Amino acid sequence: MRYSHSAQGKTRPPQALDPRKQPTQSRATETVNAVLEAAARILEKHGFEGYTTNAIAERAGVSIGSLYQYFPGKDAVTVALIERELTLLSADVTEADSIADYRDAMHHLIKAAVTHQMRRPKLARLLDFEQSRLPIAPRIRHVTDAIHRTLLRTFSRPGAPYIRNMQEAAFDLIAIAKGIVDAAGERGETDAHRLEERVRRAVYGYLGISSPSRRGL
């Protein structure tokens, strides 16, 4: 009976989990944001090792009681953080929908993926891992689905190569980008452009299209 899911067992009367409910730039929102950023920073600095609710609250400058006023449990903090980060990525990714040329759209997608994973590399990696451990939260599902749909739409463009299994390809492309960037991040690489170029080679190879322009490797 450890990890509490997003929903709650006990009768906790008031609002709890929803960070964006009131139109006011309220103290509640401030606290929620402070907690999320504190959680992010702790994950980046100490990993799961130091990722405790007490540490998060202290770093956020709020009491532990306040943290539990806005989040039903530790996992809810993590889920909210995942949602926050994925929303940033999603906003970037969906821009591809308004790019006419297929190649330009693909380029944009790869850049978005690499940029996201490089922005806060350790955080992205750790959250990714937690996401696989946690029960699938609808709020997260919603965001990842939007990303996925943009990929599928891009694959269906005029000018796009034939792709046997688009669903599969969408997952694989994300996996390739994450794989290369995460591993590089762990080794301390920081040059996003180089990484982008390498991811592009792998992705274009995967899709069976020749690398555009490009130096001969």
Partner DNA sequence: AGCGCACATGAGCTTTCGCTCATATTCTAT
Partner DNA sequence: ATAGAATATGAGCGAAAGCTCATGTGCGCT
Give the binding site for a second copy (CB under 8 A): 2-3, 47-49, 129, 132-133, 161-164, 168, 171-172, 174-180, 182-184, 186-187, 198, 201-208, 211, 216-217
Residue 127 C-beta: closest distance to DNA, Å: 15
Residue 32 C-beta: closest distance to a second copy, Å: 27
23: phi then psi, degrees, rounded to nearest 5: -70, -15
Q: What is the DSSP letter of 162?
A: P
Euclidean distance between CA atoms 185 and 188, whole angstroms? 5
Q: From the list a second copy, DNA, none, which binds 31 (C-beta under 5 to 8 Å, kind-based)?
A: DNA
> Does residue number 28 form part of the binding site for DNA (CB under 7 A)?
yes
Sequence-ordered list of residues with C-beta below 8 angstroms from that of 157, at least 6 positions apart, any chain: 102, 105
Binding mask 146-185 for DNA (x = CB under 7 A): ----------------------------------------
> Does residue number 134 form part of the binding site for DNA (CB under 7 A)?
no
Considering CB under 7 A, how many residues would be counted as binding DNA? Answer: 29
> Does residue number 13 form part of the binding site for DNA (CB under 7 A)?
yes
CB contact at 8 A, 127 and 80: no
> Does residue number 133 form part of the binding site for DNA (CB under 7 A)?
no
Euclidean distance between CA atoms 170 and 135, whole angstroms? 22
Euclidean distance between CA atoms 114 and 110, whole angstroms? 6
Using CA atoms of 40, 46, 51, 54 in order, give the dihedral in degrees to the nearest 10.
-100
Q: Summarize as ranges the residues that interact with DNA (CB under 7 A).
A: 1-4, 10, 12-14, 18, 27-28, 31, 49-54, 62-66, 68-70, 73-75
